[in-house]
Homo-oligomer: A and B are copies of this chain.
């Protein structure tokens, strides 16, 4: 089971020196986990471990396990949430959409848009209360405008 293996990896990396993935593979095998290097590469990525002079280490100091980890992991705010919180209106202009928000709401909205990386959005620029959304062409801008309006009106 992947979850158990992840915990074992955290434990090994936190309490002993692990210099490379093959060493990790051997240590895990002693604990009953038999997987290949490819899987460990993916595990390490998912656990966001980093590799430095002293082998692998946990992501910046916090070695939280199990339940505590899950509690913190409340995904980042979605575009829908941000628009619901801050959005005032959205207007298309050529290949752009201008989104007006409450004061100070532009940055969070733009950040959420960037993170979700909609295919119709090339990029965003945010001020204090205005987000400029750049699309490849007017058609895509219209789609974005429509989608944002749907959220605004819901």
Residues of A within 8 A of B (CB): 45, 48-53, 57, 59, 91, 93-96, 98-100, 107, 110, 114, 122-132, 134-137
Contact = CB atoms under 8 A, between A and B. Distances in A.
A127 B98 contact: no
Contact of A132 (B48, B57, B94, B125): B125
Given A50-B50, A52-B59, A95-B96, 14 more contacts: A48-B52, A91-B122, A93-B95, A93-B123, A93-B136, A96-B134, A110-B127, A123-B130, A124-B127, A124-B130, A125-B130, A126-B127, A126-B128, A126-B130
A100 B125 contact: no
A66 to B, nearest CB: 21
B48 A50 contact: no
A50 B13 CA distance: 15
A100 B123 contact: yes
Contacts of A57: 50
A98 B134 contact: yes
Contacts of A50: 50-53, 57
B49 A52 contact: yes
B93 A134 contact: yes
A123 B98 contact: yes
